[in-house]
């Protein structure tokens, strides 16, 4: 049985520090074979930097996924070819990096990690994530590999799009794990066809906040319709959201998905 720990969107410095505190003892307890985290918000809520990649890998994460903020820091785009990171596979042609990766697990086992981005309410003209999944799974080179699990980070805003994608992928991949909206949903399940699903894994960031952003300016924006700056707290109570997925390496089918929520105070 393969055990895969997937961590929701890491938001800012407080999120990175929460990972550094919570992940090492959690790994010791759960003994996952692979740790994946969405890191597109890890650089103060927008994008990622080389120093932060090194910091997150040093905290015990093996692979990073991304989303709509992947290309925000144009001076950092070389990271996607240098480090164990995937960005959405349905970005337009010519974008740096890769949208999926085959991760060797020792012996003959490999895990296929896919990153996709939704189109509903995302304000960019991305390629179709549904058809992109078909394209990836039809890749003849993949059939030459011994794939023991297929994990997809579906980074999307609309719950309807993520739910539809989950049904579309059902039975063909091991897990559809939603990211982007920063609130863990209560619909985790393993389908009859053996796909683990959750609409959103949640985030790692400031707990007493609006999606990881200081709540005061957000409330004022709703009251006045004046768009005030997003301020990400660096201290205080932090939430850590993740899921643990068990996959039968002989069948590629998920057997269990367990939500994990922890809190820590960052001083």
Residues labelled catalytic: 69
What's CA 61's distance to the chain center, in Å? 12
What's CA 86's distance to the chain center, in Å? 10
Strand partners, 147: 110
d(Cα 98, Cα 87) in Å, to the nearest integer?
6
First to last CA, the chain: 38
Dmax (CA) for the chain in angstroms is: 59
- Please answer whether residues 101 and 84 qualify as being in contact, where contact means their C-beta atoms are separated by less than 8 angstroms: yes
Structure-token pair, residue 9: 């969107």
> Residue-wise over 178-198: b if at least 16 C-beta within 10 A, else e?
bbbbbebbeebebbeebbbbb
| Cα four-point dihedral sign 188, 194, 195, 201 | positive
């Amino acid at each position: 049985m393969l055990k895969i720990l997937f961590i929701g969107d890491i938001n800012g410095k407080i999120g990175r520090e929460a990972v550094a505190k919570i992940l090492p003892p959690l790994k010791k307890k759960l003994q996952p074979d692979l740790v994946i985290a969405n890191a597109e918000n890890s650089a103060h809520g927008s994008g990622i930097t080389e120093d932060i990649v090194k910091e997150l890998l040093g905290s015990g994460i093996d692979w990073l996924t991304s989303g709509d903020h992947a290309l925000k820091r144009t001076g950092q785009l070389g990271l996607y070819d240098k480090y164990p990171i995937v960005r959405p596979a349905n970005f337009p042609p010519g974008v740096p990096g890769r949208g999926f990766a085959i991760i060797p697990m020792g012996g003959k086992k490999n895990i296929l990690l896919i990153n996709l981005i939704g189109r509903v309410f995302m304000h960019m003209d991305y390629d179709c994530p549904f058809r992109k999944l078909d394209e990836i799974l039809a890749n003849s080179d993949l059939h030459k590999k011994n794939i023991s699990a297929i994990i997809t980070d579906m980074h999307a805003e609309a719950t309807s799009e993520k739910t539809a994608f989950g049904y579309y992928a059902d039975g063909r991949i091991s897990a559809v794990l939603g990211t982007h909206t920063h609130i863990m949903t209560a619909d985790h399940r393993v389908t009859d066809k053996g796909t683990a699903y959750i609409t959103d894994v949640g985030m790692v960031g400031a707990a007493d906040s609006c999606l990881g952003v200081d709540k005061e300016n957000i409330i004022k924006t709703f009251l006045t319709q004046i768009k005030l700056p997003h301020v990400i707290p660096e201290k205080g109570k932090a939430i850590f959201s993740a899921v643990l997925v068990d996959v039968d390496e002989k069948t590629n089918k998920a057997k269990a998905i367990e939500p994990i929520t922890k809190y820590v105070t960052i001083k």
